[in-house]
Structure 1
Amino acid sequence: MRKVVVFDKVKHGLFGEVDLDLLNMQITEMEKEGWALVSVTANTHFFGGITSFTLLVESVES
């Protein structure tokens, strides 16, 4: 099974940068829960600033 996850947590309030440390921690958590990361895509606003990331994850069947 595949799942799309949008990560949009920011470091400082509404207009801060996306919290990459928290993103990495959540990816590690998902991998421990049996999900494999397939792709990561940066989502940007009109001027090119990154506002979020879209992750495609796939369940690892044992």
Structure 2
Amino acid sequence: MQPVAPPSPDYIPGPEEPQTPPAPQDEDECEPMFIQPYDPDYVPKPMYPEYIPLEDEHVLLAEEMP
């Protein structure tokens, strides 16, 4: 075992890390995850609001952009 050098005289100790309870390591203690079966024909529906205001008058054309 190698000797440990004393800390620098300029060293300011920081706050201790808070003690957090360890995460459960046993698989039986964890809640089982529900994995949905894969459906290759599934297409998600778009999640748009019912009304999208048009703001095209404020859109700059490519030649107008800075």
* TM tier relative to shorter chain: under 0.3
Task: Look at both structures and tell me which one has the larger radius of gyration over its CA atoms.
Answer: 2
More strand by share: 1
More helix by share: 1
Q: TM-score, with normalisation over the residues of structure 1?
A: 0.16
User: Which has the higher relative contact order, 1 or 2, with Cα contacts under 8 A spaced 6 or more apart?
Assistant: 1
Q: TM-score, with normalisation over the residues of structure 2?
A: 0.16
